[in-house]
Structure 1
Amino acid sequence: MKRPDVAGNVVVRGAKSSCAGPTVGVDDFHLKRADIEVGEGGDGVATRVTWNLSSPIPPFGGTMFVFTGLSADETEAIQLRYLVANGQRIELYVLNSEDRRIDLTGEPLRTDTGVVSAVVPSADIMMLGAGFHWSAEMSHNSGAVQHCPA
């Protein structure tokens, strides 16, 4: 049986899924696409989230990256949040349905081509169960939040 689509989200139907960012009315620095890959690491469950940007993170101001995952029955939710200020990591954490915050160690992957990638730990992804749906977003300098799917 085909799982239904969820408006404004991507339904996970396999190990990899993607969504497109906004195509009109965007600034020079914008979110082009977001990808997830379930099965990162040795446990095969942790999930890599990748934000594909139009250019590298600017060395000034603040940029917030958010991945939101929601269980198929919409009873469990998590958010991975990554905040950069003036080019430096400020925060990287997971927030769950009970408002429990888990600070993550390590540094997300950042490339000079505008790719930012971080891993959601397996315990947090497992809370969502199979067929979860997700969205991603990015904002810079408190400007408009750019959603993916757009």
Structure 2
Amino acid sequence: MFAVGGAFGVVFGSIGLLFAAFGIGMLVVGARKSSEYKRVFREGHMAEARCLETYVVHHHSSNGPSSSQRRLIVAFRSGDGRDVRAEVVARHPYVAGDVVPVRYLPERPDRAVAAEATPGVGVVTCLFSGVMVILTCMGLFFAAIGFGVAAFMSTS
């Protein structure tokens, strides 16, 4: 009977560690993306891109309001003369043929962003980080409980 409880504790603790690892991994990915986005606006080069195509992506939520995001396929010439195509998110309604101001890093022009600052990026980053910290803490809590049960059952 004690072996079953100990094995259950180890499995429970391992699942908790998986949740904590996922939370930490998502925090690292989110921090990288946020710092890259800020760097593009701080150090990025400006370019006049031509809108080639536009489409809207709808995000549906099962229990709340849905949202939509306007995406553009743009083409521009980088500072070193390369022709670049990139997918950017825009707030303003552009159509094919419009000129769209973009910012890009010289080493990664294919990751250009629309030059208009997206509002609420800091709020979304804070909310995402908060949720991932809570997920990580819950995972560590369940890991401690699980491994504690396993250790207690093995000594009994």
Q: Same fold (TM over 0.5)?
A: no
Q: Select the structure that is richer in strand.
A: 1
Greater relative contact order, per chain length (Cα 8 Å cut-off, separation 6+): 2
Q: Structure 1 length normalisation: TM-score?
A: 0.27
The structure with the largest alpha-carbon Rg is 2
Q: Select the structure that is richer in helix.
A: 2
